[in-house]
A and B are shown apart, each in its own frame.
Chain A
Amino acid sequence: MSAPVLEVSGLSRWYGEVIALSDVSLRLGPGVTGLLGPNGAGKSTLLRTVTGLLPPSLGEARLFGEPVRDNPRLFRRVGFCPEADAFWEDLTALEFVRTLARLHGFGAREARERSLRALDRVGLADRARKRIAGLSHGQRQRVKFAQAILHDPDLLLLDEPFNGMDPVMRRQTMDLVRSLGEEGRAVLVSSHILYEVEALTDRFLLLLRGRLRAEGGIEDIRGVLDDIPRRLVVHTPDPRRLAGAAAGKETVLGVRRDGASRVTIETTRADEVLRWLTSAAASGEVRVEEVFAADEDLESLFEMLVR
């Protein structure tokens, strides 16, 4: 098998006594992957290290099987959308993207054509000749996005790309990110807003205080959190009976009645409790109308991890 698009092994980065990244290892293939974590988790540091902008204190990052170090040729295949508003405000959107296209080595004509195409793709064709200083924050974000995709990169690294976008822009940009992933590109999207990433992909990397705490789908991430209690919400016409039966189970940590028809069960083994609920409902021991996990959405996972 050929090398993954991005491979990071034992990557650490510290600033004085502050550890921004600690022993992070990951492999990234085609498709969209979300890089999640609260502010200060080390997402931007990871992206900057991967793009060679920051030297790692330890470890190594490889792109397309080759080390990032002293290898700028690799960046012909990488598009990077930084979080910072790194703009030359005196330029128009087209001039800005074209200048960066020239840095990729494209000739004047091709740079212009690619820049126009990229701006069109991010929905800014009608703003191409506006000065960047006059663009809204969301539009500036899209200009940054355009410069990242102008050269058809195989790996796209997007650092908080949806910041400052209004809902319509955000949805359009999400569609674009999804389509880039479907084209076979590897896309790593960092965000601290979970629903954004959840709407994009079901593959995640979860960074917390510089450490990679989990990777995979929501279920995989959930799987590594066995020691953290999960909550199952059960709708039943007889909550007292259900609560009583559940309280006797060994894996149940707590039971709470919420209103007239709802019981919340806290457990470390949700799968076992679900099996018991199924069999108990089938045997008539308890009556169950609906069961769902209260904390299977990313926001809840995130809260649990940060706690």
Chain B
Amino acid sequence: MPVYDLAYRRTSFDRKIGGGLWAVARRSLRTSLRSRWTKILFALGWIPALGACAFLYIQSGALAGFGPPGGRSFHFQPNQYHLLLNWSRFFLLVFAVAVGSGAIAEDRRHYAFELYFSRPLTSLEYVGGKFLALVGLLFAITGLPALFVWLFDASLVPEGEPSRFGETADLLPRLGGYGLVLSAATALFVLAFSANSRSGRHAAIFFAIFFVLSQPVAEMLGQITGSDAVRALGYWRCFEAISREVFELPRGFHGPPFRAAAAVLLAACALAAFALRSAVRPTRVVR
């Protein structure tokens, strides 16, 4: 046997499909959930939903002496879900900064890339795992509370009446879909900043600047050009327009059209994905 031939010792296990991605996601989730701040912010993120549930409960007349005579008369309409998710966006941003800004930057800072990428792990699996974990966490304080409110609302009917699940079933994909889009896009932006920063703090500051500045800049450009479509460049306005389309509400005052908002969001996501992918690339040969 040739002295260099180690083929007889070849490791024979096969990786499960996406195994690396799940391992990274699990690790990322665990890191996030161990932090006390994550738990506090997570609890805060549910306040609008819990408040809505309390409001619905009181309105249903379930509490003796309260509510209209004859039982329930108030249900959440798409407009209320739109407002609820508007509220959630604030907590979403705070949570995204707290949980996501260090997701990749801290790995880079602590040289954890050396541990990740000296394993049979592709950069796509790494990024995918981080993304998945963050989307999961963000969805848990946006889409999930909204779905919970829907569930609560639909099931809270006077005795003897059928539940409203069937009647309001069309809201389910809208709430889930919009929550997912909101979470995924925000996760992508935060991770792109995180991947291009040396520390979580820097990433948080850059993301906050991006978020805070995008809105006034977009408004200013809208004023100058006289076009509402340009206002979609603002983070808040962009999601506002998408939310209004999802819940079939009329465009707000000077609100950008849905198509412009969708185009801006897609372009921003593509840019963020590119920045993310370029920053996390362990193997590259320059000739």
Contacts and interface: CB of A to CB of B under 8 A. Distances in A.
Interface of A: 1-5, 29-30, 48, 51-53, 55-58, 60, 64, 68-80, 82, 84-88, 90, 99-100, 102-107, 110, 147, 151-154, 157, 184-186
A237 B210 CA distance: 84
B13 interface: yes
A60 B285 CA distance: 8
Contact of B4 (A1, A51, A100, A107): A1
A53 B117 CA distance: 7
Q: Which 6 A-B pairs have the closest CB atoms?
A: A105-B15, A80-B118, A84-B111, A102-B23, A52-B283, A55-B284
A80 B114 contact: yes
A105 B16 contact: yes
B164 interface: no
A110 B11 CA distance: 14
A152 B283 CA distance: 23
Interface residues of B, number: 40
Given A2-B2, A85-B110, A185-B6, 19 more contacts: A5-B6, A53-B117, A53-B283, A56-B286, A57-B286, A70-B283, A75-B117, A76-B13, A76-B120, A86-B111, A88-B31, A90-B31, A99-B26, A100-B119, A103-B23, A103-B119, A153-B11, A154-B6, A184-B9
A26 B264 CA distance: 51
Interface residues of chain A: helix, strand, loop or mixed (majority): loop
Interface in B10-39: 10-11, 13-16, 19-20, 23-24, 26-27, 31, 34
B64 interface: no
Instruction: Give the residue among A68, A104, A153 with the most B Cβ atoms within 10 A.
Output: A104
Interface in B100-121: 110-121
Interface residues of chain B: helix, strand, loop or mixed (majority): loop
Given A73-B120, A80-B118, A55 B286 contact: yes
B9 A53 contact: no
Contact of A152 (B11, B31, B115, B121): B11
A103 B116 contact: yes
Given A2-B4, A77-B11, A88-B31, A105 B283 contact: no
Contacts, number: 132
A99 B20 CA distance: 10
Nearest to A50: B118
Interface of B: 2-7, 9-11, 13-16, 19-20, 23-24, 26-27, 31, 34, 110-122, 282-287
A1 B5 CA distance: 8
A79 B119 CA distance: 8
B115 A147 contact: yes
